[in-house]
Amino acid sequence: MTAPSFDQLFHPDNAGRYTTAMTDGLRLLLEQLARIDRPVTGLSPEVAAKPVLDVDLDRPLGDTSAALAEIRELWLDDTVYFHDTKYAAHLNCPVVIPALVAELFMAAINTSMDTFDQSVGGTFMERHLIDWTAARAGYPEGLRDGIFTSGGSQSNLQALLLARGEAQLRGVPLEKLRFFTSADCHFSIAKSARLLGMGDAAAVAVPTDGSRRMDVDELERMLADCVADGLVPAAVVATAGTTDFGVIDPLDRIANACSRYGAWFHIDAAYGGGLLASPRYRHLLDGIERSDSVTIDFHKSWYQPVSSSALIVRDLASMQHASWYADYLNPKESENPNQVDKSLQTTRRFDAVKLWMTLRVMGPDGLGACFDAAIDLAREVHDRLALMPDIETIARSQLSTVVFRYTNAALDEETLGELNRRIRSELWSSGRAVVAATKVDGRQFLKFTLLNPLATPEEILDIVEDVRALGRAVMEVAR
């Protein structure tokens, strides 16, 4: 089969073919979504790899419907469906329909956000959303700024680049800079220190307290030691919603420590940032207004398709550390508002339009209510699990994770770990549910991350019954 000619592939002079291809695609999508009755079919990596690797990419199929049939087989039939109520593993959200409509336009128009002359109104829509988000965080009008990024990892990297830049403006040599963050922070913080040329020792882990939040007394002690050793605390990173436990570090107390030591205060609210729109739980972020920068992942607790994230900053002057001017793109003398001036990316998707469309259809309260529902769900599930004699739980999350495991007093730690890993992989293979796993102080646990506002406590407790039944079955066999 030969490839279609140029005039069959581009629009807009091709409305007929455009409509047919889009309609075929939409039909397949809807059919597929209607067929799904479980979050995954449970293929192993070996089985998933074979048919994909057998495709000869030098031999095109030549038409859209054949290619759609192929991706259905290679991807759609066995992929993971985050909108299924029994997907309860990682920080993936089901996506809201207004955002999907915007995604289609974003891809079709192919706007790029680097310069005004590639985006026009898009530049101002993104800026307006950044300003709106930063206002919700309580940053001062006229000073606040920020940028959409590809995800929380990139937002954190940029925040720490700004923190490093501010310290270097004060003449501090790179090798003396330290970032302090909780032992339970996301790995992108330590990785950022490495990427920023500061070495692994520059990211210092502060122990957590009994509720798994950063121990601020320890932080104070470590900051004092840092200075006594002739080093400079360039930043403290609080996590507002740790990946595993969904807890929020004490923001106000950390802000106090930062002001005392002149350290940049960054908050990684990749997970908990959705609280900025929450009708009922916004107060959990009190103190956020005292930070210098915040990471917000719209593709987690704001129900947006991947990717959609932002870094917001208190003071736009700090964005200079991410700036570069090129004569062919954004010359220094340009009078246009060019977003590339403050971005780590050059060509960049108009992800902001998805959030724009979502807010214009649903409003912030409507969107925030989805995250509130997930938080309520996690609380109820946690409290029910805490009553079960063969289930061990970890302290209740402030957000929407539940860390737990099947337990039995007769088993030692190693066997319990093995048993829970086995339960998880059996659940995956059965396709009945997808749950995550993590270690707590070296001990193996399972984890629910609940973001789906449509999931009910009964559905999640059903997964727990599966976990218990699998646990009992494995014990039986071992006997």
Ligand X SMILES: Cc1ncc(COP(=O)(O)O)c(C=O)c1O
Judged by beta carbon, residue 151 or residue 417, the one nearer ligand X is 151
Please identify which residue in 103, 114, 249, 297 interacts with ligand X, judged by CB under 6 A.
Answer: 297
Residues numbered 205-264 forming contacts with ligand X, rule: CB under 6 A:
239, 241, 243
Please report whether residue 287 would count as binding ligand X according to CB under 6 A. no
CB of 271 or CB of 445, closer to ligand X: 271
Q: Which stretch binds ligand X (CB under 6 A): 37-45, 158-166, 265-273, 334-342?
A: 265-273
304 binds ligand X (CB under 6 A): no
Q: Which is nearer to ligand X, 123 or 188 (CB)?
A: 188
* Cβ 266 to ligand X shortest distance, Å: 11
Q: Which two tokens stand for residue 92?
A: 């993936």
Which structure tokens are listed for 82? Answer: 């985050």
Rounded to a whole number of angstroms, the minimum distance from the CB of residue 56 to ligand X is 33
Q: Which is nearer to ligand X, 90 or 321 (CB)?
A: 90
Tokens 């192993």 map to which residue?
A: 44
Following DSSP, what letter does each residue of 163-204 receive, concatenated? Answer: HHHHHHHTT--GGGEEEEEETTS-THHHHHHHHTTS-GGGEE
Under the binding rule (CB under 6 A), the answer on residue 318 touching ligand X is: no
Beta pairing class for 401-406 and 443-449:
antiparallel
Judged by CB under 6 A, does residue 133 bind ligand X? no
Find the shortest distance in angstroms from Cβ 240 to ligand X. 8
Angstrom CA distances, 349 to 105, 221, 355, stand at 11, 43, 13
Taking residues 158 to 187 in sequence order and writing x for each that binds ligand X by CB under 6 A, - otherwise, the string is ----------------------------x-
Query: With binding defined as CB under 6 A, does residue 291 bind ligand X?
Result: no
268 binds ligand X (CB under 6 A): yes
- Per CB under 6 A, the list member of 88, 89, 91, 322 interacting with ligand X is 91
Distances from the Cα of 107 to the Cαs of 111, 313, 349, 350, in angstroms? 8, 28, 8, 9
The identity of residue 60, as a single letter, is: P
Rounded Cα–Cα distance for residues 445 and 383 (Å): 17
Nearer to ligand X, 91 or 419 (CB): 91
Residues 322 to 361: which contact ligand X by CB under 6 A?
A: none
Query: How far, rounded to the nearest angstrom, does the alpha carbon of residue 132 sit from its chain's CA centroid?
Result: 20
Amino acid identity for residue 175 in this structure: E
Of 348, 304, 353, which Cα lies nearest the Cα of 154? 348
Q: Which residue has the tokens 């259809």?
A: 361
In a 3-state reduction of DSSP, which class is residue 232? strand
The alpha-helical segments, DSSP class H, found in 310-407 are 352-385
Among 133, 153, 358, 397, binds ligand X (CB under 6 A): 153
Residues that contact ligand X, how many (by CB under 6 A): 15
| Site of interaction with ligand X (CB under 6 A) | 91, 151-153, 156, 186, 188, 239, 241, 243, 268, 270-271, 297, 309
